[in-house]
Amino acid sequence: MFCGYVENTGVSDFQFDAQRKTFHTQGYAEDPTAYAETVGTVYVGEKEKAAENDGRTVFEENKEKLKKRKREHMGDPSDPEGYKGPWAEYTDQVKSSGPTEEQRATLDEWAARKEPKANAKPDENEKTILHIEDTHDYQGRSFLVAPKDHEVNLYNTEPPEKCFLPKKLLHTWDAHNKGVAKVILFPKTGHLMLSCGMDSKIKLWEVYGKRRCIRTYAGHAKAVRDIVFSNDGSKFLSASYDRMIKLWDTETGACLSRFTTKKIPYCVQFHPDDDKQHCFVSGMADKKIVGWDINTGEITQEYDRHLGAVNTITFIERNISFVSTSDDKKSQSLGLGYPC
């Protein structure tokens, strides 16, 4: 059996939906039990929020108008130089803006990580191993000096009268634990051979005589892709997949300088001129060719003309330009633009 009191109340559908939606979104609604004289002043739910919003429903707009920004005077239309027209700036417009101190510190830190570095901190893994004891002959000459007691005259600059195709295997140099990436001969005399491998090591060999391994250069964290001698052979550059280019002393095995752009170098090449041996170029995996100055350790020029990784660099035209090959299936001739 039900008992109670029922009172007839007339509420339109729109008012009912407005109060229902306002209660679900804002958390308050008009009290339906309020008397006629208190309608719009008594609320149920979040009464503080209702007072803050003046009891507005979700269908009512905020009657508070935003302050209209004022513009500067448009000027005299007869003055072409001083007339601003409807494009005049706002009076409170900020004409210049910049990052905050915290944002500036973050940007500086990011720029420092991206900046190419030379002469970076020495790697603790940089070391060299000398495999022979007789590094000097009876006259005090190091192994970099070509010997004269071989059947072949290593100091002769003239080509031989007769040349023959190789028919017999003379010797096999076997010391790398993984694949060999490149082999180059000592400049002019060719009595020494330098090899780099996927085992991240570089080795110097004898071409004549006992054909021994003279020295091992270890300092790269990943495979070595390219190596190149300077004109006199006293130094050489190595490019590795660890994103480092290193300058080595051939005789002592010391690492003299380190260069990096945070990208993988695919090839390196000294400038062929004797008076410009402090300059070299490197082809990078990020499609760029970078020119370096060994003395200052800074980048002197960047070439960004390829659409793929640069694989080789060859100097031409009396060393005033070079030809580069790339994974973009193109070969380009570029003029030297860095000050050497």
Instruction: Per-residue pLDDT tens, the chain, 340 aa: give them.
Output: 566 666 666 677 888 888 888 888 888 888 877 765 566 678 888 888 888 888 888 877 555 555 678 888 888 888 888 888 888 888 877 776 677 888 888 888 887 776 655 555 666 778 999 999 888 888 888 999 988 877 778 888 887 788 888 889 989 998 899 999 999 999 988 999 999 999 999 999 999 888 999 999 999 999 999 999 999 999 999 999 999 999 999 999 999 999 999 999 999 999 999 999 999 999 999 999 999 999 998 999 999 999 999 999 999 988 889 999 999 999 999 888 644 4
Which amino acid would we find at residue 241?
Y
Collapsed DSSP state (helix, strand, coil) of residue 22? helix
Collapsed DSSP state (helix, strand, coil) of residue 225? strand
The answer to whether 290 and 278 are in contact (CB under 8 A) is no
β-pair type (117-118, 43-45): unpaired
Sign of CA dihedral 242, 244, 245, 248: negative
Structure tokens at 274: 């004797």
Q: Given the structure tokens 């027209």, which residue do they identify?
A: 85
Which of 9, 13, 94 lies closest to 59 in space, CA to CA? Answer: 13
Structure tokens at 297: 């350790």
Which of 195, 223, 222 lies closest to 207 in space, CA to CA? Answer: 195
Structure tokens at 321: 């330009």
Which of 23, 6, 14 lies closest to 31 in space, CA to CA? Answer: 23
